Structure 1
Amino acid sequence: MHALLFVSSILYSVVNTFKQQPIYAFFLYQLVYFFNPNYRWWNYQIPDFKYAFSSSTFLLLVCIFSKKYRERSGNLFKSTPLVLLTLFSATFSATYFVAYFQVFHIMAVEDLIKSLIVIFCAYKLCINRESISIIKNGYAIGATYLAFYTYQIGRNAGDRVEGVGTVDAPDANDTAAMLCPALFFAAHNFYTAKSLKSKAAWLVSCGLLANALILINSRGAFLGVIIGALILAKNLLVIKVDIFKHKRKLFAIAFVGIIGLFSVLDKAALERFSTITQEAKTEDRTKESGSTRIEFWKAAINMSLDYPMGLGTLGFNGLSSRYIPENVDTGGNRSKTVHSTWFEVLTESGYLGACFYLSLCFYIYRKLITIRRYANKVKDEAAYLSISFLHSAIISWFVCITFINRMRAEVFIWLVLIAACTFFVYKVDKNAVMANKTEVA
Structure 2
Amino acid sequence: MTKGKQIIIALFSTISCFIVSNYTFKHYFAFLGVLALPFVVKRAFLLCIWFILFSYFRLHEAMPFLEPFKIPKLLALACLIGLSWQLWMNYRNFKWHPLHTWLLCFAFWVSISCVFASNRAESFEMLSGNFLKIVLMVFAISLLPTHISQLKKIPFLLFLCGLLIASITLYNKHYEIGLVEETRVTIGRAFGSMLGDPNDLSLVLLFPLSFTAVYIFHGHIISRLIAMLISITLLAGIAATESRGGQLGVISVLFMSLLLRSKNIVTPLIITALGIMVLFIAAGIENRFVSTASTGTIDESAMGRLYAWGAAIMMAVDHPLTGVGLSNFYNNYYFYSVHWDGKNHAVHSSWFEILAENGFVGLILFAVLLVKTFQLSYRLLKRLKRTTYQPLSEGLWLGMISFSVSGTFLTQGTTWPFYILLSLLIATDRLTRNNEQLHQKDLNHGS
Structure 1 residue 306 and structure 2 residue 318: aligned? yes
The whole-number CA distance in structure 2 between the counterparts of 1:164 and 1:305 is 37
Distance 1:258 1:79, change over 3 A: same
Q: Indicate the residue corresponding to 1:97 in structure 2.
A: 115
Task: Map 1:186-265 onto structure 2 (within 5 A).
Answer: 186-194=212-220, 196=222, 198-238=223-263, 262=278
Give the corresponding residue for 1:398.
404
Equivalent residues in 2 for 1:2-41, closer than 5 Å: 22-33=44-55, 36=58, 39-40=61-62
The runs of at least 4 consecutive aligned structure 1 residues that moved more than 6 Å come to 17-20, 257-261, 273-280
Q: Is the 8 A contact 2:40 2:78 kept in 1?
A: no
Q: TM-score, normalised by structure 1?
A: 0.77
Distance 1:275 1:173, change over 3 A: farther
- Secondary structure (helix, strand or coil) at the match of 1:310 reads coil
Pairing 1:292-371 to 2, within 5 Å after superposition: 292-308=304-320, 309-325=322-338, 328=339, 330-333=340-343, 335-371=344-380
Query: 2-side partners of 1:276 and 1:177: how far apart?
Result: 25
Q: Distance in 1 between matches of 2:348 and 2:289?
A: 18
CA distance in 2: counterparts of 1:138 and 1:114, whole angstroms: 22
Q: CA RMSD in A?
A: 3.7
> What runs of 5+ residues in structure 1 fail to find an aligned partner?
1-13, 240-246, 283-287
Aligned position for 1:107: 125
Q: Taking every aligned residue pair, what percent have the same amino acid on both sides?
A: 18
Structure 2: distance between partners of 1:89 and 1:275: 43
Q: Distance in 2 between matches of 1:47 and 1:323?
A: 38
Show the 5 A alignment for 1:53-92.
53-65=73-85, 74-75=94-95, 78-92=96-110
In 2, the alpha carbon distance for the partners of 1:68 and 1:200 equals 45
What is residue 284 of structure 2 aligned with on the other side?
268
Structure 1 residues 37 and 180, CA gap change in structure 2 (3 angstroms): closer
Contact preservation (8 Å) 2:280, 2:286:
no
Could you list the per-position Cα deviations for residues 45-79 of structure 1 after superposition, in whole angstroms to 9, with x for gaps in the alignment? x683222211212222333445799558642xx22
Cα distance, 1:84 vs. partner? Answer: 1.7
More deviation, 213-222/158-167: 158-167
**Aligned-pair CA distance for 1:410:** 1.6
Aligned equivalent of 1:3: none
Name the counterpart of 2:146. Answer: 127
Q: CA deviation at 1:426?
A: 2.6
Q: CA deviation at 1:161?
A: 0.2
| 1:370-429 Cα shifts (integer Å, max 9, x gaps) | 2323344xxx34344432332122111111111122111122221111121122123223
Q: Is the 8 A contact 2:169 2:237 kept in 1?
A: yes
Post-superposition shift, 1:223?
Answer: 0.7
The answer on whether the counterparts of 2:41 and 2:81 sit within 8 Å (CA) in structure 1 is no
Task: State the Cα distance separating 1:440 from its structure 2 match.
Answer: 5.1
Please identify, of 229-238 and 59-68, the stretch whose mean Cα deviation from structure 2 is larger. Answer: 59-68
The normalised TM-score by structure 2 is 0.76
- Matches of 2:400 and 2:345 in 1, distance apart? 27
Tell whether 2:441 aligns with 1:421: no
Note if 1:145 corresponds to 2:151. Answer: no
Q: Does the CA contact (< 8 Å) of 1:181 and 1:394 recur in 2?
A: no
Structure 1 counterpart of 2:118, which letter? Answer: Y
Aligned residues: 397
Deviation at 1:102, TM superposition (A): 1.3
Distance 1:47 1:161, change over 3 A: closer
The counterpart of 2:393, out of the listed 378, 387, 401, is: 387
Tell me how far apart the structure 1 counterparts of residues 171 and 40 of structure 2 sit (CA, whole Å): 34
Structure 1 distance, partners of 2:198, 2:152, is 28
Native 8 Å contact 1:30 1:139 kept in 2:
no
Q: Does the 8 Å contact 1:280/1:291 carry over to 2?
A: no
Give a deviation string over 1:168-198, Cα, whole Å, max 9, x none.
45311011112112101123334323362x3
Q: 1:435: Cα distance to partner?
A: 3.5
AA at the equivalent of 1:313: L
1:343 partner letter:
F
Secondary structure at the aligned position of 1:236 is classed as: coil
